[in-house]
Amino acid sequence: MTITYVVENGLYVNMTNKCTNRCDFCIRKNGDGAYGSDSLWLEREPSREEVWAAIQQADPTAYGELIFCGYGEPTCRLDDMLWVCGQVRRAYPAVKIRLNTNGHASLIYGEDVAARFAGCFDVLSISLNAPSAEEYDAICHSKYGLAAFDGMFSFASRVKEYVPQVIFSVVRQFLSPEALAECQRLCDEAGVPLKVREYIAD
Ligand code: SF4
């Protein structure tokens, strides 16, 4: 079971394969491995203690960043992830922690959970993916339908108050130049930097 894996100078944590989206570009759709790991499909979800043990074994101080990512949406296990973050903060206060998320946390729990991220992360990277609810749904096929985009966007606006660095990301190959420009405009308006990333096919 692959709980942690390494990409470049980052130590990645894979806690769940659950997700509220089914994105067209998801690496989950492209075989069982990614980034040189044998398999990021978990036969069962590791306990929070198993995740914490795997992180200690991998020695996060040897990497530039510890990143909660997936094969899945980490906030589907919000309590467990925040517990693990607390362990990391106490044991390795110098380790930088990032969360890659689809931004659905408040939708998942049916309430504003942004304040719970305070002190846990240095960086949140939120997948913007598209410039409108309709275009988002066409790419991401969320279980929340058209509400997913606004839920994600308002979570980003709220969580900025609690996390030092919040960025939006989009995948260049899935956007027209006009859509990309509109994403940039939305990000500028929200005061959130935009990272344009390339599609990674496994
Ligand atoms: S939000 Fe992330 S994990 Fe979920 S389907 Fe999209 S790319 Fe995959």
25 CA: nearest ligand 1 atom: 7
Lowest mean pLDDT among 16-20, 23-27, 50-54, 121-125: 23-27
> CA 22 to CA 40: how far, in whole Å?
16
Superfamily of domain 4-197: Aldolase class I (3.20.20.70)
Q: Calculate mean pLDDT across residues 13-42.
A: 77
73 CA: nearest ligand 1 atom: 3
Q: Calculate mean pLDDT across residues 170-178.
A: 92
pLDDT of residue 26: 85
Nearest-CA residue for ligand 1 atom 7 is 26
102 C-beta closer than 6 A to ligand 1 = yes
pLDDT of residue 198: 85
Domain ranges of the chain: 4-197
Write down the pTM of the prediction: 0.93
Residue 159 pLDDT > 60, yes or no? yes
What percent of the chain lies above the pLDDT cut of 70?
93
> Which amino acid is located at 141 in the chain?
H
Number of Cβ within 10 Å of residue 201's Cβ equals 11
pLDDT of residue 30: 59
197 C-beta closer than 6 A to ligand 1 = no
Per residue in 112-154, pLDDT (tens digit) is 999 999 999 999 999 999 999 999 999 999 999 999 999 999 9
139 C-beta closer than 6 A to ligand 1 = no
pLDDT of residue 202: 46
H/E/C letters for each residue in 105-157?
Answer: HHHHHCCCCHHHHCCCCCEEEEECCCCCHHHHHHHHCCCCCCHHHHHHHHHHH
